Each structure stands twice: as structure tokens, then as C-alpha cells.
Structure 1
């Protein structure tokens, strides 16, 4: 094979290996950053779910006796 082509392939392989090494080093940092955001989203989702439960209970408590509770919009 031509030595110039081998030199170009070697340079491309080294550049590719450097890119992969940098990404491999940064990946855990990104994972932990995403984990914090996901934990916050889960906390907010649980808060929203509790608010919906309280709202539903409030609507059921105020429902007229002729209106069955299973006719609420989110059943």
C-alpha cells in the first residue's frame, strides 16, 4: 500500500481514538447531570399527582347526591 495512504489512515485513526476517548471521559458527567434533572422531574410529577388526587377528592366531596362520582372528567 501507498505510505501516504497509510499515514492518512493512521492520522484518521488517532483522531477518531481521541474523539472516542474524550467522549468516554465526558459521558459519566452527562449521565449524572441528566440524573439530577430526572430526579427533579419525578419529584414534580409526584407533587402534581398528589394535587390531582386532592382535586379529585374535593370534586367528589362536592358532587351532588344525584351525580355518581365515576362521572368525573378524568375517570
Structure 2
């Protein structure tokens, strides 16, 4: 099971990013675990300065904006 984390303070873009990941996983029939990380110290621990950011299996794969739908689908399927 892939483990995703959405890093951000809970802003609209963070919520949109989390929903996009959930929707892509549902459409692909892929089981994922999704966690929202909102504590600034935890976010900075990943070296992220711009949110929303996405962590997949412990590695930052995106930061600084809402990812494109094709990009999210590739993460889920890949």
C-alpha cells in the first residue's frame, strides 16, 4: 500500500490536493494511506518551504502548488 502525506496548513489548495489523490486512487482501484500533516515543524522536517507538498513513501515528490491531475494519477498507478 502506498503511503501519501499532504503537507500544509489546511488551506484550500491542501484540501484540493488531498481530494485529488483520494479520487485518483479510487478511480484506479488502488489502496492508499493518506495523512494530512499540518504542524509546521513536521513540514519543515521534510525540507519543504512551499505548500501544499506531497510525500510518497517517505520522499517529497511535489511542493509549491496543486499538482496536475495526470501527475497525481501517475503517482497512484506508478
Q: Place the TM-score, normalised by the shorter chain, in its bin.
A: under 0.3
Q: Please report the TM-score for the alignment, with normalisation by the length of structure 1.
A: 0.28
> As a proportion of its length, which structure holds more strand?
2
> As a proportion of its length, which structure holds more helix?
1
Higher RCO, 1 or 2 (CA under 8 Å, sep at least 6)?
A: 2
Larger Rg over CA atoms: 1
Q: Please report the TM-score for the alignment, with normalisation by the length of structure 2.
A: 0.27
